[in-house]
Amino acid sequence: MLELYYFPTATCGYKARLALAEKGVDFTARVLDRDAGDLLTPEYLKLNPNAVVPTLVHDGAVIIESSIIITYVDDAFSGPALSPSDPLSKARMLIWMKNADEKYLPAVGSVTYGTFRRREILEQHGPDLAAYYADIPDPDRRAQRRSVIENGINSPHAKAGIQTLRTMLQDMDTALVGRAYLCGSGYGLADASVTPFVSRLSELALEWMWDDLPQVQAWWQRIQARPSFDHVFSAFPNPDRKRGLREAGLEARSAVETILSAKEPNHPKT
Ligand SMILES: N[C@@H](CCC(=O)N[C@@H](CS)C(=O)NCC(=O)O)C(=O)O
What is the domain partition of the chain in residue ranges?
2-76, 87-261
Give the model confidence (pLDDT) of 95-135 as tens digits. Answer: 999 999 999 999 999 999 999 999 999 998 887 899 999 98
How far does the centroid of ligand 1 lie from the alpha carbon of residue 12, in Å?
6
Give the model confidence (pLDDT) of 230-243 as tens digits. Answer: 999 998 889 999 99
How far does the centroid of ligand 1 lie from the alpha carbon of residue 25, in Å?
22
Question: What residue's CA is closest to ligand 1, atom 1?
Answer: 65
- Provide the CATH topology of domain 2-76: Glutaredoxin (3.40.30)
- Provide the CATH topology of domain 87-261: Glutathione S-transferase Yfyf (Class Pi); Chain A, domain 2 (1.20.1050)
Provide the edge-to-edge strand list for the sheet that holds 61-64: 28-31, 2-6, 55-58, 61-64
d(CA 98, CA 92): 10
How far does the centroid of ligand 1 lie from the alpha carbon of residue 5, in Å?
11
Task: Specify the amino acid at residue 1.
Answer: M
Residues at CB less than 6 angstroms from ligand 1: 10-12, 34, 39, 52-54, 65-67, 101
Identical fold, 2-76 and 87-261? no
Antiparallel, parallel or unpaired: β 61-64 and 55-58: antiparallel
Give the model confidence (pLDDT) of 6-54 as tens digits. Answer: 999 999 999 999 999 999 999 999 999 998 999 999 999 999 999 999 9
Candidates 195, 235, 238; CA nearest to 219 is 195
d(CA 16, CA 3): 11
**Residue 18 and residue 73 in contact, taking contact as beta carbons nearer than 8 Å:** no
Model confidence, pTM: 0.94
How far does the centroid of ligand 1 lie from the alpha carbon of residue 52, in Å?
4
**Residue 190 and residue 96 in contact, taking contact as beta carbons nearer than 8 Å:** yes
